[in-house]
Structure 1
Amino acid sequence: MEVGWLRAAVSLTVNRGKTTCLKNTFPRPLLSCAPMVGADRLAHTQAIHSNMLYISDDNNAKLKADPSTMKLNHDIKKPLCIIMNWMRAKPSHVQKYAALYLAQGFDVVSVSCTPWQLTWPVKGSQVIADRLLKFLEVNSQNPLVLHGFSVGAYVWAELLVQAVQDKQRYQPVLDRIVSQVWDSAADIHEIPVGFPTAVFPRNKLLQETFRAYIKLHMKLCHNLATKHYMKATEVFHSTPCRAPGLFLVSKTDPIGAEHRSRDVCDHWVRSGMKCSVKCWDKSPHVLHYSKHPEEYKAAVFSHLDQCGLLKKKL
């Protein structure tokens, strides 16, 4: 099955100097409303958009978002943590991070992005960003916390691009963010490195084939994809979101490269923001918590404490 849709994905028709780009050939994730078992707690999850899950330790009434405004049918009473997921993150894995914030009295919104949505930003990642930005604008005025992973940094950057286009309207939304944590953040330079690994984690041959396609895609579809990646990366570096930042990285992670996060951190510090980096000598991409749980929690809790958000340690 993988070979079949990869063959479709890498098929490009070049005619008279124009590239005919394919429509969605990537499978979309299936989201469900179901309890998720976390660390010593049962979290209730509900899909509020095709790419957004609401996670709470309260068994809330059925949440529904107006598809045009993203306004929920019930008020949000708690502060929110926005988790920007890595590619193809499993709900059980996301729940481990959500549990850290549920214990601090937060509800959590988990935001995902499919391979197709990353490949075609205008119809994909930018739509996710638009929905999330509207959601944050119209639901609750409580503090917000960001905890993002890998390609989630790019999806958030697309939100920042839209926010700076109407600063008068959206800067108040960004000003409600009081903390941001970036775990294994990846930008345009790492897309050909990490994207194929995320799609085909156990097949080296398909990884290399897909990597060749992604490089060609970025070259031939500059106006449809690459220029958007570049713009988002630029805005992420000069972010209008001024909340203190924590970067969690590893010297052995080729996807969320250490020097990329350090460059962003240095840029933010020079602009007057408070930022820090926690770097492990050896730790896989988006698996720092699994490999170094106590150090990971200590770094996150210390950051939350500095932001005035820590209630209790797990």
Structure 2
Amino acid sequence: MVVPNRDLTVQEISRSLQIYSKERRDVEKDPKTLQLKSGFEKPTVLIFAWLNAKHKHLVKYANLYTDQGFEVVVTQLTPWQLLWPVKGSQLVAADIVKFLKNNEFRNGVIFHGFSVGGYLWGECMVHIARDLQNYQIVLDRVRGQIWDSAADITEIPEGVPRALFPRNPTLRAALRKYMIYHMKAFHEPATSHYIRSSQMFHTNMLRCPALFLVSKTDPVGTVEANTRVKDSWESNGVKCTFKCWDRSPHVGHFRKHTEEYTEILFSHIRQLDMGGHKQALRAKL
């Protein structure tokens, strides 16, 4: 499937992975391995989108990177995939790991994750940990990480209703009650996997520099939860940068603080080992 959007083209690698590109690139692939015929010459950003993210919003982030000469790949969970991890989010995670392992990224990969994107990367690490010798190359390819409004397991009952019914408090309250019930009633098929993913995210198998973007008024990606993650990572030797705004909504920091957000983001990226791209990035800013 090819979806033109202004100056970007969206092409499917799989149901859960899409390339956002200024040029229509060759996505001829092996459907079993997700290996593309042509590798990624440019530095690549993998965006772990938030739940129910709209295409027009994802394009804004994609443009932020493609304007600087990056390749952009987007992955996203559906609410159903989140609710039923074994047949949902874990299959998406397996695709992500397969894609990262079987393709060549000559100038490395950066993660830019939002909200439940942190949970999804946790599921990826659960998958990687089962066969670390085979998947160590995936971890080695990641040069940096950005976590915007990352949501912990404790905030799933708050985050899912807000994502699905942002303007309907009645339906939001009803779904919140159901989510609390769901996590209690389906501990083995659902909640136990959320807990394991959260443990992996707090431990984190990546040792590359991390940027946290949070707000005091975000009830889903809370300052407290993100601070605990940052402290855990720093104790393991990960260099962390923590930016906390006084006011901005969940996954809304870029919209609310566009200039400052962009400056912090690319200041972080300039510190990373992205081949010869650092000078080009600095020149464009």
Q: CA deviation at 1:141?
A: 3.4
Q: Quick check: 1:35 aligned with 2:4?
A: yes
Q: 2 CA distance for matches of 1:297 and 1:77?
A: 24
SS at match of 2:24: coil
Distance, in Å, in 1 between the alignment partners of 2:51 and 2:183 is 18
Counterpart contact for 2:39–2:105, Cα < 8 Å: no
Q: Structure 1 stretches (4+) deviating beyond 4 angstroms?
A: none
Q: Select which of 215, 223, 226 maps to 1:261.
A: 226
Preserved CA contact (<8 Å) 2:49 2:74: yes
**Higher helix content, 1 or 2:** 2
Residue type at the aligned position of 1:101: Y
Could you tell me which runs of 5 or more consecutive residues in structure 1 were left unpaired when the two chains were aligned: 1-31
In the alignment, is residue 98 of structure 1 matched against residue 62 of structure 2?
yes
- Once residues 273 and 173 of structure 1 are traced to their aligned partners in structure 2, the CA distance between those partners, rounded to angstroms, is 17
Q: Measure, in 2, the Cα distance between the counterparts of 1:75 and 1:272.
A: 31
CA distance in 2, matches of 1:75, 1:268: 31
Letter in 2 for 1:305: R
| 1:1-314 alignment, distance < 5 Å | 32-37=1-6, 42-61=7-26, 63-142=27-106, 143-309=108-274, 310=278, 311-312=281-282, 313-314=284-285
Post-superposition CA distance 1:89-146 (Å, at most 9, x none): 1111111111222133211110010000000000000000000100011111320000
Deviations 1:139-184 (A, max 9, x none): 1132000000001111111001111111111112111111100000
Task: Please identify, of 45-54 and 224-233, the stretch whose mean Cα deviation from structure 2 is larger.
Answer: 45-54
TM-score normalised over the length of structure 2:
0.94
CA drift of 1:48 comes to 1.4
Greater relative contact order (CA < 8 Å, ≥ 6 in sequence): 2
Letter in 1 for 2:64: L
- % identical equivalent positions: 46
Q: Distance in 2 between matches of 1:292 and 1:36?
A: 25
Counterpart secondary structure, 2:145 = strand
Alignment RMSD: 1.3
Distance 1:161 1:235 in 2: 7
Q: Deviations over 1:43-94 (max 9, x none)?
A: 2210111121111222223x14433211223333222110000011111111
Q: Secondary structure at the match of 2:151?
A: coil
1:197 CA drift (Å): 1.0
Instruction: Please give the TM-score of this superposition, normalised by the length of structure 1.
Output: 0.86
Aligned residues: 278
SS in 2 for 1:92: helix
SS in 1 for 2:53: coil
In terms of mean alpha carbon deviation, does 94-103 or 67-76 score higher? 67-76
Counterpart of 1:216, as a letter, is: Y
Gaps of 5+ in 2: none
Matched letter for residue 214 of structure 1: M
Q: 1:187 Cα shift? A: 1.5
Letter in 1 for 2:111: L
Name the SS for the 1:105 alignment partner. Answer: coil
Larger Rg, first or second structure (1 or 2): 1
